[in-house]
Amino acid sequence: MAQNASGWIVDIHTHAFPDTIAARTVDKLQRMSHTHPFTDGSVAALRASMDEAGIARSVVLPVATNTHQVPHVNDASIAMNERSESTGVLSFGCMHPDFSDWRTELSRLSAAGVKGIKVHPVYQAVAFDDPRFLRILDRCAELGLIVLTHAGRDIGIPAAVDYVSPAQIASAVRQTDGATLICAHMGGWRQWDDAERLLPETGVYIDTSFSLGRMVANGDGYYRTPDDLAMLEPESFIRLVRAFGVGRVLFGTDSPWGGQREALQQFRALPLSEAEQTAILGGNVARLLDLRR
């Protein structure tokens, strides 16, 4: 597995799709979000990206956009994990808040050794503090499953209403019984002031994906958007790291929507100590997922 001077690198936030649907899925998503992918969305392309960047492990986060997808996507996740020792790519499961047999399906994932699930309240059009999500959070706490949720707005769905704002995340935490929760995109994409104000005391983890820098219109191989769209400047990014504490920050890229090599270069340029970078780049998530080198 890849390693460098600052330790073992694990990307907690990536996406990859079966070869049969990767091309059309990535094409659809890039048209929705006006972004340019860095890979073709296949597991092989993710593996090549990891090798180029020096990343040891990547966690794939599948999303169920309807209830019918749930068992099939989870079958694929379980199969991916059976090959993870050789590929370095492992997968969380998925859950949709309207899936009728949610309790049994979560138990199935836990029994299969899956470490956690990904939910996306924006794509699923259900508020994160809705009772349908609260019951899933409580069940995951019982089973020891991690929950990684999209947090904040989504570039692909400029919703008029919030589904997973920092306030809704804080509300869900107050109403549930201690699930390990990772909030993507530094706690709330484009809602970072609220994330800094409302979430540090909740105990949630955050990941760094798709949050640092700027998406540049007509960029060469970077993000393509209708207009320049600022994300977090280094000073604001570091302030969030300090607010949550280094031990609760996990490196993620959102590959293929973020380049793994490019995201790692941006992160390396931040004024963090080597020990802090080592923790965020792999130490924290390795401990959380009980990963072995």
Give me the mean pLDDT over the 138-166 stretch: 92
Q: Which residue has the tokens 């530094």?
A: 186
The shares of helix, strand and coil residues in the chain, as percent rounded to the nearest 5, are 45, 15, 40
Q: Is residue 134 part of a domain?
A: yes
The pLDDT score that the predictor gives to residue 29 is: 82
In order of 210, 222, 254, the CA distances from 262 in angstroms are 11, 9, 12
Q: What is the pLDDT of residues 70-128, one digit of tens each?
A: 999 999 999 999 999 999 999 999 999 999 999 999 999 999 999 999 999 999 999 99
- pLDDT of 151 higher than 50: yes
Q: Is residue 2 part of a domain?
A: no
Q: Which domain, by its residues, includes 281?
A: 10-289
- pLDDT of 238 higher than 60: yes
Q: Is residue 193 part of a domain?
A: yes
Asked which of 31-35, 121-125, 138-142, 240-244 is least confident by mean pLDDT, the reply is: 31-35
Q: Is residue 220 part of a domain?
A: yes
**36 falls in which pLDDT band (50, 70, 90)?**
confident
* Half-sphere exposure (Cβ direction) of 200: Cα atoms closer than 13 Å: 14
Q: Is residue 3 part of a domain?
A: no
CATH code of the domain in which 70 resides: 3.20.20.140
For the chain, the C-alpha Rg in angstroms (whole number) is: 17
Q: Is residue 5 part of a domain?
A: no
φ, ψ of residue 282 in degrees (nearest 5):
-170, -35
**28 falls in which pLDDT band (50, 70, 90)?**
confident
Look over the chain and give the mean of its residue pLDDT values, rounded to a whole number.
Answer: 91
Q: Is residue 4 part of a domain?
A: no
Cα torsion 190, 197, 149, 272: sign: positive
- Counting the structural domains of the chain, the total is 1
Cross-strand bridge partners of residue 141: none
Are 38 and 258 spatial neighbours (Cβ–Cβ below 8 Å)? yes
